[in-house]
């Protein structure tokens, strides 16, 4: 699998057409290891069937590009407007998210035909309206949206395969063989008046704006992510049994769900389920598939804390966006490289922060229905930063804000430690 460059700035039509074609093909490439039956399963409300992702991303282009630009546009199938709308209330009614796995129809073949139809129309539209900058922005937004769903396709099929007692393998990958961790150190970072958030140049999501001033106290940040070995020590020390370490909601969560370790770990803590099937746990690799509650409890146990999103961004801003992404083909977190002072800030796992997902001062969502893309979720969720091993490198930047509920674990979610100066 390779990543597709999606240029940050509005592009010439020819380049945008190439990016569109390659990214849309990549989604179909993700389905190559899957049987038809694999693509229709929904194991938990957060997981969507693979075929739904294929349909929804196509609906996005039909709804926000074709319908807004084609004269006398007629939907491919009126029923798809209901089935593949995700959460855009201003667009119309939608099928309930937890019931997506109940849809045997449309079939995978019918959804692929829908994609082919919309892609043909999009090629015509981009060719005719090559100078339409507003259309170019909508298409670029749609391509970044598709990249988000490509990541979801992989995290969702991982949960589907884990829920199957046959434990299918998505793709075999050689293990790193590493068992040696980079020593954990903390770098002191000077605070003061700083700025975070994206500038207006280049493509960014609306929730990354506006760039604004903040005040940071001096702090220190770990040089790498918390490892499997370190988290295993937390478990052995009775971390899951000590209520003093847990937020009230976190303690309720582990009691309700029966959590005793990260999602996908075996009961004996020796193996973990991956997209390559069951594998021995690499002690040096970052722990992943842990909730915010688990990350926070570990930090308390370790006598540290999680960083704020502002601290994370200030630390990451001077760093080149590089790391273990989808592009590497590993599809699993890797141990930190030795010698780096600020390693793993991008890739491997989305990093939990202590910051609630909220609007920046002066935030303005996109106009119209696309304003529902990010702004409506700015409540009761926590910010994560940096991308994961199934993110695409060109999709990430230091200002990129994603968000999950504090109990979520099915994504590649991990953390690093921070401390006051």
Please compute the mean of the pLDDT values over residues 398-421 and round it to a whole number.
Answer: 97
Choose one of 98, 127, 162: the last residue of a domain: 162
**Segment among 129-133, 288-292, 362-366, 371-375 with least mean pLDDT:** 129-133
- Give me the mean pLDDT over the 70-77 stretch: 89
Q: Given this model, what pLDDT does residue 70 score?
A: 81
pLDDT higher than 90, residue 87: yes
Predicted pLDDT of residue 14 = 63
137-174 tens-digit pLDDT: 999 999 999 999 999 999 999 999 999 999 999 999 76
Higher local confidence (pLDDT), 249 or 175:
249
Segment 329-346 shows an average pLDDT of 90
Residue 412 lies in a domain: yes
Of 162, 196, 212, the domain-final residue: 162
Domain of 287, CATH number, reads: 3.90.1580.10
Report the C-alpha gap between 25 and 21 in whole angstroms. Answer: 6
- Domain-embedded: residue 51: yes
**Alpha helices, DSSP H only, in 31-107?**
50-61, 67-69, 78-83
8 assigned to some structural domain: no
In the predicted structure, residue 199 carries a pLDDT above the cut 60: yes
Assess whether 239 and 157 both reside in one domain. Answer: no
Structurally, how many domains does the chain consist of?
A: 2
Residue 395 confidence (pLDDT) above 80 = yes
Q: Are 134 and 193 contained in the same domain?
A: no
Note the pLDDT of residue 179: 65
Give the C-alpha separation, 336 to 323, whole Å: 9
Mean pLDDT of 343-358: 97
Name the residue range of residue 198's domain.
186-420
Q: Is the pLDDT of residue 5 over 60?
A: no
| In a domain? residue 4 | no
At 318 the pLDDT is 85
Q: Across all residues in the chain, what is the average pLDDT?
A: 93
Regarding whether 349 and 243 lie in a shared domain, the answer is: yes
Domain identity same for 309 and 377: yes
Same domain, yes or no: 33 and 106: yes
Residues 121 and 207 in one domain: no
CATH number, domain at 77?
1.20.120
Percent share of the chain, pLDDT over 90: 88
User: Which of 129, 162, 195 is at the close of a domain?
Assistant: 162
DSSP 98-135: GGGGG---S-HHHHHHHHHHHHHHHHHHHHHTTT-HHH
Measured CA to CA, the distance from residue 161 to residue 142 in angstroms comes to 28
Mean per-residue pLDDT for 75-96? 96
Assigned token pair, 238: 């009775």
What is the band of 3 on the pLDDT scale with cuts at 50, 70, 90? very low
Assess if residue 44 is contained within a domain: yes
Q: Is the pLDDT of residue 7 over 50?
A: no
* Residues 6 or more apart whose Cβ sits within 8 Å of residue 421: 188, 191, 217, 218, 219, 220
Compute the half-sphere exposure of residue 69: CA atoms within 13 Å on the CB side of its CA. Answer: 24
């Amino acid at each position: 699998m390779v990543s597709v460059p999606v240029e940050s700035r509005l592009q010439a039509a020819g380049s945008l057409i190439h990016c569109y074609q390659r990214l849309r093909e990549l989604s179909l490439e993700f389905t190559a290891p899957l049987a038809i039956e694999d693509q229709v399963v929904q194991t938990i409300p957060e997981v969507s069937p693979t075929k739904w992702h294929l349909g929804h991303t196509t609906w996005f282009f039909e709804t926000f590009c074709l319908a807004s630009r084609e004269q006398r546009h007629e939907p491919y199938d009126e029923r798809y407007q209901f089935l593949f709308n995700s959460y855009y209330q201003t667009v119309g009614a939608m099928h309930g998210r937890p019931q997506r796995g109940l849809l045997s129809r449309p079939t995978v073949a019918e959804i692929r035909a829908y994609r082919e139809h919309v892609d043909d129309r999009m090629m015509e539209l981009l060719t005719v309206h090559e100078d339409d900058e507003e259309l170019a922005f909508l298409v670029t937004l749609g391509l970044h949206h598709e990249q988000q769903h490509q990541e979801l396709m992989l995290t969702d099929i991982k949960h589907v395969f884990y829920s199957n007692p046959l434990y299918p393998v998505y793709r075999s990958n050689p293990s790193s063989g590493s068992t040696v961790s980079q020593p954990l150190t903390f770098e002191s970072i000077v605070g003061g008046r700083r700025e975070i958030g994206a500038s207006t140049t280049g493509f960014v999501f609306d929730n990354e704006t506006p760039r604004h001033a903040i005040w940071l106290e001096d702090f220190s940040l770990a040089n790498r992510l918390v490892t499997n070995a370190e988290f295993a020590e937390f478990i052995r020390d009775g971390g899951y049994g000590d209520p003093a370490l847990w937020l009230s909601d976190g303690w309720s969560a582990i009691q309700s769900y029966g959590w005793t370790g990260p999602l996908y770990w075996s009961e004996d803590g020796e193996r973990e389920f991956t997209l390559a099937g069951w594998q021995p746990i690499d002690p040096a690799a970052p722990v992943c598939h842990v909730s915010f509650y688990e990350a926070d409890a570990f930090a308390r146990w370790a006598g540290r804390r999680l960083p704020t999103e502002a601290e994370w961004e200030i630390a990451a801003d001077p760093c080149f966006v590089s790391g273990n992404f989808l592009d590497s083909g590993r599809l699993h977190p890797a141990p930190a490289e030795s010698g780096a002072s600020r390693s793993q800030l991008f890739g491997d796992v989305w990093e939990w922060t202590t910051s609630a997902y909220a609007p920046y001062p002066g935030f303005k969502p996109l106009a119209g229905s696309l304003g529902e893309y990010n702004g409506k979720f700015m409540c009761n969720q926590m910010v994560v930063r940096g991308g994961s091993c199934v993110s695409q490198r060109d999709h990430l930047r230091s200002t990129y804000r994603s968000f999950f509920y504090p109990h979520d674990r099915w994504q590649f979610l991990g953390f690093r430690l921070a401390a006051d100066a």
